[in-house]
Amino acid sequence: MPSIVLLKEWKSPVTCAHNEWIEDLKFHNDFLGLVIGRCKNNAVCFELRSTVTLNCLWSIQLEEVCSMYATRCCPMLNHQWIVVAFRNPRIFHISSGGKLISADKKCRSPSNICQIGSNLLAIWDQKCIYLQNLCCII
C-alpha cells in the first residue's frame, strides 16, 4: 500500500485557539468550512478558510448551539453554507459573504445534513433520515 505523504500541516493557533476545537470541516470550491467550538462562552462559530493558506476569509458566531453533539456544516450552491445544531435544534443558512440569512427553529433535532441536487436536503436526526425541500428551509 502506498504511504500517505504529508503536504502541509497547520497546528494551533492557526487552526483554532487553545480553548477551541474543530467540530466539523467540509471542502467546497477551494475553500474549507470549519465549525469551531469554544469553551469560554460555550458557543460555536463557522469560518470559511482558504485551502491554500488556511487564512480565515470570514467568521460568523452562532449562538446557543454548543452541546455534547457536534455541530455540522454543509456547503450549498452559490457558495452558501448550512450549519446544523442538535441542541436547541436549528438549521442556520449562511450567505457566501458570511452573513446569517436565516435560522430555522422549526426543524427536528438535526445531527447532520447534506444537499442532494439543486433543491433537496437529506437531514439525519439520529432516528431517521428525512428529505426536505430546500425552499422550506431557506
Which has more pLDDT, 56 or 6? 56
The model's pLDDT over 83-123, given as tens digits with 9 standing for 90+, comes to: 988 767 788 889 999 999 988 776 667 778 888 888 888 88
| Mean predicted lDDT score pLDDT of the chain | 83
Per-residue HEC secondary structure of 67-123 comes to: CCCCCEEEECHHHCEEEEECCCCEEEEECCCCCEEEEECCCCCCCEEEEECCCEEEE
**pLDDT above 70: percentage of residues in the chain:** 84
- Which tens digits make up the pLDDT trace of 50-68? 998 889 999 999 876 666 6
pTM score, whole prediction = 0.81
CATH 2.40.128.630: does it fit domain 20-136?
yes
What are the sequence ranges of the domains in the chain? Answer: 20-136
